[in-house]
Amino acid sequence: MTDEAHARAATLAPRAAELERAGSRVSPVPRFAEALRGVDVKIVAEVKRSSPSRGVINPGLDLTKQVVAYEAGGAAAVSVLTKPGRFGGS
């Protein structure tokens, strides 16, 4: 997995400035740990387009709609799995 992550980072390196600009334009989100603090039980929802054990789950997933639905359903945090080879991310 580490070799694969390093290879992916190397392919994205030429786009570093572009990706940093894109990241600076989005609204800040609450910190993951902060979302889970408190006395009540918290739910962490998970988003992935495919699974190593089940294969393709939802290739046409609309990330924004899914996150909004999870939030409406009471999720305190959302984990988005992005590894291309294992979870169908990009």
Q: Higher model confidence: residue 75 or residue 2?
A: 75
- Per-residue CA distances from 77 to 39, 42, 73, 88 (Å): 15, 8, 11, 20
Residue 33 has φ and ψ, to the nearest 5°, of -65, -40
pTM of the predicted model as reported, rounded to 2 decimal places: 0.67
- Contact (CB, 8 A) for 63 and 46: no
pLDDT, mean of residues 74-85 = 86
* pLDDT tens profile 12-61: 899 999 989 988 888 887 788 888 888 899 999 999 888 888 888 888 88
Does residue 63 have a pLDDT over 80? Answer: yes
Which token pair is 64? 């924004």
Does residue 74 have a pLDDT over 70? Answer: yes
Does residue 1 have a pLDDT over 70? Answer: no
pLDDT band at 72 (very low <50, low <70, confident <90, very high): very high
- Contact (CB, 8 A) for 50 and 56: yes
Amino acid at 83: K
